[in-house]
Structure 1
């Protein structure tokens, strides 16, 4: 089932390359902050489509319409993400304060314990947060449903904690592999061009700079948007397993 989710999401994310470019343009202006909410809102729409769809279905990519609603959805998602991360952060700060109040081995031991506990809480918080967003989407965007902890836990229990964690680990690995492979291919191509230029006695120093530029553009306008849709689709389909 998990492999089916990956297969579906990989194919789904490549349905419309124009959408990837549009997301890339929005990402280009993300330093203005407001476009970040549009990106998050679009990913929410992808999740919403997946939650109400089926694996290997014919779901279309969401349209870029009702931008105000997309922006509002993005704000809601960011608030949910922030809320679920607060507890691990507070726990880490508490351990850091305690560790700073003592010295020597005790301080180091307290920080190690604090880091381990924070890491475990982060895993749970991230899992709950993603399922919370899916739960909100499943309930017609009800913001309160993102904090219905018992319902969200029941959904995770139904899917299986192992399946959820395994799926997320797989998403991390796939994301890293695709990013590294694409970057490696681009750099390999321009390295060959550069070496060929040097061998012919041509100053090819600009070729390497061009390679860096091309890699940045491909990452921003294709790979980045593709992977964001891939992850959002996978998360939504994972949630739909318990429906």
Structure 2
């Protein structure tokens, strides 16, 4: 089932390359915050479509309509993510403060324990966070549903804690591998061109600069948006395993 989710999401994310370019253009201005929330709002629409769909369905990519609504959804998406970070961050800070006042070997032991607890709580918080966003989307954007902890636990129990963790680990691996492979291929091609030009007595600095610029363009306009949609679609489809 997990492999089916990945297969669906990989194919789904490549359905419309123009959408990827549009997201890339918007991301260039994400430092202005408004575009950043539009991007998270679009990801929320991908999740929303997935939780109301099926694996290997024929869903098209969401359209860029109702931009203000997308912006609001993006803020809600962001707030949920930040809210779930608070507990593990507070736990780490508390342990760090106590360890800092103790000093010595006991301080090191306490920090190891604190890091372990923070990691465990962080994993649980991340799973609840992802399912919370999906649960909110499934209930027509009802914000409180993102923090309906009893319902979310039932969702995760139904899907399976192991399946959730395995799916998210797989997403991390696939995301890193795809990003590294694409950038490495482009980098190696222009490295070969550059050294070939150097051997022929041509100034290769322009070739290397072009390769770096092309890598940046492809990452911003293709790879980044593609992986963002891929992850959002996968998370939404994972939620449907309990429906």
TM (normalized to structure 2)? 0.99
Distance 2:145 2:187 in 1: 46
Q: Deviations over 1:60-95 (max 9, x none)?
A: 100001000000000001111111110000000100
Q: How does 1:80-229 map to 2 (within 5 A)?
A: 80-229=80-229
The offset of 1:32, in angstroms, is: 1.1
Counterpart for residue 36 of structure 2 = 36
Counterpart for residue 46 of structure 1 = 46
Distance 1:212 1:39 in 2: 25
Q: Deviations over 1:77-132 (max 9, x none)?
A: 11111111100000001001101111110111111111111111111111100000
Counterpart for residue 69 of structure 1 = 69
Q: Deviations over 1:191-228 (max 9, x none)?
A: 11101101111111111111111111100000000000
The offset of 1:34, in angstroms, is: 1.7
The offset of 1:179, in angstroms, is: 0.4
Q: Deviations over 1:137-156 (max 9, x none)?
A: 00000001001000011000
Distance 2:199 2:27 in 1: 39
Distance 2:42 2:74 in 1: 7
Flag structure 2 segments of 5+ consecutive residues without an equivalent.
Answer: none
Flag structure 1 segments of 5+ consecutive residues without an equivalent.
Answer: none
Distance 2:209 2:119 in 1: 38
TM (normalized to structure 1)? 0.99
Distance 1:106 1:33 in 2: 43
Question: Alignment length, in residue pairs?
Answer: 243
Distance 2:222 2:12 in 1: 14
Distance 2:123 2:207 in 1: 42
Counterpart for residue 242 of structure 2 = 242
Distance 2:85 2:127 in 1: 11
